[in-house]
Structure 1
Amino acid sequence: MDEKDFALLHTLRECGNITHAADRLYLTQSALSKRIKAIERELGCEVIIRTRKGVRFTPEGELVIERTARAQRELTALRHELSQAQGEICGTLRAGFSVNYSINHLPELIAEYHRLYPRVQLEIATDLSRNLHTRLQRGDLDLAVLRGDMPWDGARIPLSLDRICVVRAHEHANTPLSELTYINHAADLSHTARIVRWLHENNLANDANRISVTDLNTCLELVKRGIGWALLPEIILEGFDGRIEPCAFANGEPFVRRMHIDCQKECEYLPQAQALIELVQNRYDQVKSAVDSIVSA
């Protein structure tokens, strides 16, 4: 068995289904089944049982899962230690990025990182912040760029207090918000509560004239087309040609959302992790400067 087999078994355990596991691993069902049989021959026991509801791991299979997870952690730790001992930045880095950050900034960021550190093996995950937070807690990721306030006992590097802004096209710059369509986007419970608070304080909560979408970028695209207005974080507003007004609550408290980089304690000082953290910080500073120039204009 090798690391690919470790990943195969753990993907199968996570999916609980041959078809779904094969899709995730970019294998045919036949190729996946053959590899499982080869693993069972090598180990001299059955590791899974097929049922009408999917697959179940045998007691021997559960032991294999436990030991291969331990072996993978040891191999990862070994690579980290070896990379620290070398002058050139290399090794493996498993990083997660929230969906909205990924759509707007990830391709450029990763291209720059790979250009500077081509020997680093990157494993990138994009997802909702809450899902990435769960993966961090399980130890599946070394670090993640997240939005919102979630408990974390590892290293936390503050990235910014991302201002929430009223955003609308220039053609609606002087139109009262109550006369425009409010374009709402899905958010976690904590952020949704703060949006509702701001709407109430500005007598906009009961406005029936609204459109609801699932993601920030669709929301922004509708604003660009003059459909209405939205409450959006400044991190996605680079290059937006419209009116941007940072928000505050009635008591004067700025309406912001925290962005931060959460990192496993043992990975914080890895050269490849420090290099990525520095690039993320620099990239955010550039975006904030660009948005500030639009707001001040």
Structure 2
Amino acid sequence: MEDRDWKIIKVLSAEKNITKAAQVMYMSQPALTARLRQIEQEFGVQIVHRSSKGIQFTPAGELLVEMAEEFIDRMEQIKDKVRHFSNENAGTLVIGASNYFTIYTLPQLLHSFKDQYPNTDFTIITDWSRNIFNIVYAQKAHVGFVSVDYGGVKNIHCLFEEPICVSYYKPFSLADLPKLPLILYQSDYMIQSRIDKWWRRNLSVPPIVGMRVNNLVTCKEMVQYGLGYAFLPRRMTQNIESIYTMEISDADNQKITRKTWLIYNEQSINLSIVQTFVDFIKNTRV
């Protein structure tokens, strides 16, 4: 088995189609098919079933998919450790980040870091904050950026804090909200529970939910086109003149905010490039 063979298996598992997998691997379809047959001959088992609808892995093939993922991850870890000895500021940083942070903040940070450390590569894992915690804890990412502190991570640093605002496409008042359609998006339950408490404390009737979407970006677009109001982080709308906002506060008259945290684990920080990145983030005004 060559290194490329493991990558072929992983890509086939993701694409479920030989033609598409060949395109991803920059191979011709006959070449990839021939290589797949050689892998099957080497192990003495059939790896996939082929049909007009694509491919399906056999039980033996599913085992090889698991092994392929482990092999590729392990090789990346080995390469990073070797780079650590040859060039302290080189290697691949695996970063887990919430969808919101990935879109609105991460690109600028990586651009600035890459300017200073050009031999750095990045692998980005985008997921919900609660899942990023698990990914970092399981050492599947060197660092993570999350919007909620769920606890359990020793190394955590607050990057910034921003108000959560009621956002609508035209001027409005608190009394208007029960009559307007609310656009809900999938959110971490800890943030949503604080918004729900604010609503119950200030308004006597439940909101009219006019739409449900799966992420903040889609939600913001719907608000911008006048399809309803939503509770959005301030930096999402601060440069959009067509969106009007109102900050919300808790029972102690403290602004309800959304914090963004940097998290990392003890093992990852032993890599120089990870330590350099963590120090860079801590010293950068976000």
TM-superposed CA distance for 1:65, in Å, is 4.5
**Counterparts in 2 of 1:54 and 1:182: CA distance versus 1, 3 Å:** same
**Which amino acid is the alignment partner of residue 103 of structure 2?**
I
- Aligned-residue offset at 1:137: 4.9
The answer to which of 24-33 and 192-201 deviates more is: 24-33
- What residue identity is the alignment partner of 2:60? T
> In the alignment, what sits opposite 1:239?
239
TM-score, normalized by length of structure 1?
0.73
- Provide the residue aligned with 1:111 in structure 2: 111
Deviation by residue 1:276-295 (Cα, 9 ceiling, x = unmatched) = 44555566x44xxxxxxxxx
Q: What is the identity percentage for the equivalent residue pairs of Structure 1 and Structure 2?
A: 21
AA of the residue aligned to 1:85: F
Query: Residues 10, 131 of structure 1: CA spacing in aligned structure 2 closer, same or farther, 3 A cutoff?
Result: farther
Task: Tell me, yes or no, if the aligned pair for 1:196 and 1:205 is still in contact at 8 Å.
Answer: no
Cα 1:141–1:175 change in 2 (3 A) is closer
| Residues 168 and 244 in structure 2, CA contact (< 8 A), matched pair in contact too | yes
Structure-2 change in CA distance of 1:2 and 1:248 (3 Å): farther
Change (3 A) 1:134 1:201: same
Aligned counterparts, 1:1-297, within 5 A: 1-12=1-12, 15=14, 17-18=16-17, 22=21, 25=24, 32-41=32-41, 43-46=42-45, 48-50=47-49, 54-58=56-60, 62=63, 65-66=66-67, 71-86=71-86, 88-150=88-150, 152-153=152-153, 155-169=155-169, 171-172=170-171, 176-178=175-177, 179-203=179-203, 206-208=206-208, 210-225=210-225, 228-241=228-241, 242-278=243-279, 280-281=281-282, 285-286=285-286
Q: Give the 3-state SS of the residue equivalent to 1:107 in structure 2.
A: helix
Instruction: Return the alpha-carbon distance in structure 1 between the equivalents of residues 136 and 20 of structure 2.
Output: 22
How far is 1:92 from its partner?
A: 1.4
Query: Scaled by the length of structure 2, what TM-score is found?
Result: 0.75
CA distance in 2, matches of 1:214, 1:252: 30
Q: Which amino acid aligns with 1:273?
A: V
Please state how far the C-alpha of 1:231 moved relative to its aligned partner: 1.1
* Count of residue pairs brought into register by the alignment: 280
- Structure 1: runs of 5 or more not aligned: 287-297
Q: Which amino acid in the other structure matches residue 112 of structure 2?
A: E
Instruction: Map Cα deviations across residues 32-75 of structure 1 (whole Å, 9 max, x no partner).
Output: 4333223334x44336242888212429x737844x55554553
Q: Check 1:238–1:83 CA distance in 2 against 1; reply closer, same or farther (3 A cut).
A: farther
Distance, in Å, in 2 between the alignment partners of 1:219 and 1:26 is 36
The answer for unaligned runs of 5 or more in structure 2 is: none
